[in-house]
Amino acid sequence: MTISVLNRYTSAVLATFPGSTLAGASFSGLNVSDADLSNQDLTNTVFTGCNLSGSTLENSILNGANFFRSNMEGCDLTNITSDTNSDFRCCHFQNVTYDAAFNYVYVAFQGGQSNDVSVSSGATTGLPDPSIPFYFNQIGTNTTGAFVSLQISPWTGDHGCEVVFGQEMRAFGYDILLVKLDRGATTMSDWVPTTADFLALQASFLDAIDEMKTLYPGRFFKFLGNWYLGEDDVRDIGAGAALYGKNYLLFQQGIERIVSQRMWKKFHIVLTQNWIASQKPNSFYSVRYFETLYAGWTLNIDDQPNIGDSVHLTAAGEDVLGHRRYLSVQEQIASE
């Protein structure tokens, strides 16, 4: 006895499996786009790395089903049954139809240079919400090594925009994970995939992804990115500024490979203070041009109160930036 998976539109056979059920079957790595997997018992079925784009799983049982790193763009997931062993980490979710009960957990990746490290930010008003999971690695210096309660840096007493951003996301009702991976005094070329800094960032991010399943078991995840301007590239009259666009795209693509999701229109770039414009002729223009061209959303903090026009953001400036990022994410979510 065999069971066939059909194209939901043409009824063409996409795959055939032995037995009378798809429970426990392995679709791993298969291309079964537009598949009709509705009204099926898919308990413990393996879909890792599978292309399910455009497929319907309506009314199916997905208890223990593993979709890790699958392409689920355009899938219909209404009225599914899942449990805490169902694995939806790092799936590409775009234009997915699902029930309200399966609202996304937003994984907010934040990275960059010294302003992200927050070397001069000082304390913030009020204590961080300890219910928000927070993963932090200052590459080569300090790391939590695992998700901990959202906190001011235990090493320096500093904080970044993640505190206000995370707390406002939670207050609005979103589930949120914060992943902060950074290193000061670097250029965009330092973050191109295969470089030491990027590989260290990647290792930490993969560790964080492994933990996501235990923090929010059986949930859908979407990633949001936030990246601070590479100020040292602006100081460079040569290749730094000229290659910023190419290197930034390579970096963003590297992040997208880690999370298996496109972050276009979900990736913020932070435009820092105008003081840097005087460093080298045309370099400031070159860097900002590529940032606004390639980033999905830009946060310009030049004209914001309580920030100042200096190398590093103040505590108040970080809090303003966190609030602006929250408002921008709200706008993104509303537009989807």
Q: What is the pLDDT of residues 136-172, one digit of tens each?
A: 888 877 777 789 999 887 667 778 889 999 999 999 9
pLDDT, averaged across the chain: 86
pLDDT score, position 116: 84
DSSP 319-330: HHHHHHHHHHHH
**Which residues of the chain form CATH 3.40.50.1110?**
105-335
DSSP alpha helix (H) spans, the chain: 114-117, 162-172, 196-215, 231-234, 239-242, 244-259, 283-294, 315-335
pLDDT score, position 272: 64
Q: Topology of domain 105-335, per CATH?
A: Rossmann fold (3.40.50)
DSSP 270-293: EE--GGGGGSSTTHHHHHHHHHHH
Tokens 């970096």 — which residue?
251
Q: How far apart are CA 6 and CA 12, in angstroms?
A: 5
SS3 (DSSP) at 56: strand
SS3 (DSSP) at 225: strand
Give residue 274's pLDDT band: very low, low, confident or very high (50, 70, 90).
Answer: low
Q: How far apart are CA 32 and CA 51, in angstroms?
A: 6
Give yes or no for residue 82 having a pLDDT over 90: yes
Share of the chain above pLDDT 90, in %: 51
pLDDT digits (tens, 9 = 90+) for 282-293: 777 777 788 888
**Which residues of the chain form CATH 2.160.20.80?**
1-102
Give residue 202's pLDDT band: very low, low, confident or very high (50, 70, 90).
Answer: very high
CATH code of the region 1-102: 2.160.20.80
